[in-house]
Amino acid sequence: MSSHEEVENYPRQNHEGFWQKNKEKMVPVSASDLERHKYCPKSFELAREGNTGVGEALESGIEKHKAIHERVSDYAENRLQYNRSNVIWTWWFTVIIAFLLDAILLDLIDDVNISTNDAARFLSIWALMVLIAGIVLVYLPWRSFIGTKKPTEDKVIIEIFESTWENNNFVGGWFEAGKLEATFLMSAIVMGIHAIGLVFASDRNQAIFILILTAMVWTLIASWQLQRTLIDFAKFETSRNDLGFEEDIDIAYSDDEESSDLLKDESIGLRGRPDQIVIVDGEFIPVEQKTGRVPHKPYDSHKMQLLAYLHLVSISTNREIPYGVLRYGDDTIFRIEWDEKTKQSLFDEIKEIQRLLVEGGAKRNHEREGKCLNCSRRYACDQSLVE
């Protein structure tokens, strides 16, 4: 064999010890492979050979996972709806404050030499200018001029007071999703109403009276929005309690196994998709949900699977992830640290699985009959400790 052919001989280990399938690709390992391998290398090998897991526990686990995903999606939707309602109510409330402040100022300032009609004219012109600015902002693609992201939907501003201004995955600020435009349009409305009120006021006292009257009417409308906000809050709290989530937990992602993309680290061949990624104190935290028996301490196989997600989320978000969460049922939660030690144990496991995939020869790693008894691939196993 020539030296050139030896160099091109694949699969082989790279300088870090991971196995390359060929020049471009690593030997692929999934987070589920890691879980199975940690449970028993023979189970992992049987799964790779196409022996699917069987048993009631497995089927009910799949159903429970689906149900959990639906509850988490409901929670995310209710949280978003509550936040929207809350912001809208805040706007309405601000309008009331603006009317009342105007009334107070008008009453306190004595040496104002401007007539109510002149003030109305001035406010109308100002409202018109702000309205035009708002419309220009809506229709002009100014975000692309300054290089920020477009709103998620084209019609976002038109429907600003309804629920389509941010989608579930939206992360943005004042320059996105129409908030700036909404401020301009709201300001134009408030100034326009001021102007109309002043037109009907023949003197300052009458103007103050009209401003207070408008504030009262606006309060009624705001109380309707407040009621809506409280209803949304109650729904949000119900779904939060239902899931047993702490306050201020946001859902960045929930796996429905259909629309969710795999997370990948091509440099080591790892791939996978956690059940959820939540945001706690600004940190992305992967959550792996487990159904079935609730243990006193987390199973090693589940921990290894979560370590895979911790690495993948860290790589995908380009951030340090402090820990991940293993959740058994609704109430039992284990925090799994992500540090150099756990990272090394993950990498060692990946290398061993890649070696097995290349060289074969998986063997049972335990002497526990109970493990074999609960194994969903026992029917195909020639190393089982039980019949």
Is 42 an interacting residue with respect to ligand SF4 (CB under 6 A)?
yes
User: Distance of CA 312 to CAs 92, 165, 380, Å?
Assistant: 43, 30, 32
| Closest by CA position to 345, among listed 315, 303, 317, 290 | 303
Contact 270, 350 (CB under 8 A): yes
Q: Which stretch binds ligand SF4 (CB under 6 A): 145-153, 154-162, 171-179, 376-384?
A: 376-384
CB of 51 to ligand SF4, least distance (A): 9
H/E element holding 272?
strand 270-272
| Closest by CA position to 342, among listed 292, 286, 290 | 286
Is 51 an interacting residue with respect to ligand SF4 (CB under 6 A)?
no
Q: Which stretch binds ligand SF4 (CB under 6 A): 188-196, 267-275, 326-334, 368-376?
A: 368-376
Distance of CA 178 to the CA centre of its chain: 20
Please enumerate in sequence order all residues whose Cβ is within 8 A of that of 204, keeping only pairs 6 or more positions apart, or say none.
Answer: 106, 107, 112, 116
DSSP state of 27: P
Please identify which residue in 78, 254, 289, 384 interacts with ligand SF4, judged by CB under 6 A.
Answer: 384
Q: What letters, b where the CB count within 10 A reaches 16 and e where it falls short, cover 338-359?
A: beeebeeebbebbbbbbbbbee
> With CB under 6 A, what is the number of residues at the site for ligand SF4?
13
Is 381 an interacting residue with respect to ligand SF4 (CB under 6 A)?
yes
CB of 338 to ligand SF4, least distance (A): 28
Please identify which residue in 98, 106, 268, 375 interacts with ligand SF4, judged by CB under 6 A.
Answer: 375
Is 36 an interacting residue with respect to ligand SF4 (CB under 6 A)?
no
Helix (H, G, I), strand (E, B) or coil at 126: helix
Is 377 an interacting residue with respect to ligand SF4 (CB under 6 A)?
yes
Q: Which stretch binds ligand SF4 (CB under 6 A): 104-112, 215-223, 293-301, 364-372?
A: 364-372
Is 310 an interacting residue with respect to ligand SF4 (CB under 6 A)?
no
Amino acid at 60: S
x-or-dash pattern for ligand SF4, window 263-282, by CB under 6 A?
Answer: --------------------
Is the N-terminal amide bond of 11 cis, ω within 30° of 0? yes
Is 371 an interacting residue with respect to ligand SF4 (CB under 6 A)?
yes
CB of 354 to ligand SF4, least distance (A): 20
Please identify which residue in 29, 33, 43, 138 interacts with ligand SF4, judged by CB under 6 A.
Answer: 43
Please identify which residue in 27, 40, 304, 336 interacts with ligand SF4, judged by CB under 6 A.
Answer: 40
Say how far apart CA 13 and CA 17 lie, in whole Å: 5
Using CB under 6 A, list all residues that contact ligand SF4: 40, 42-43, 46, 364, 371-372, 375, 377-378, 381, 383-384
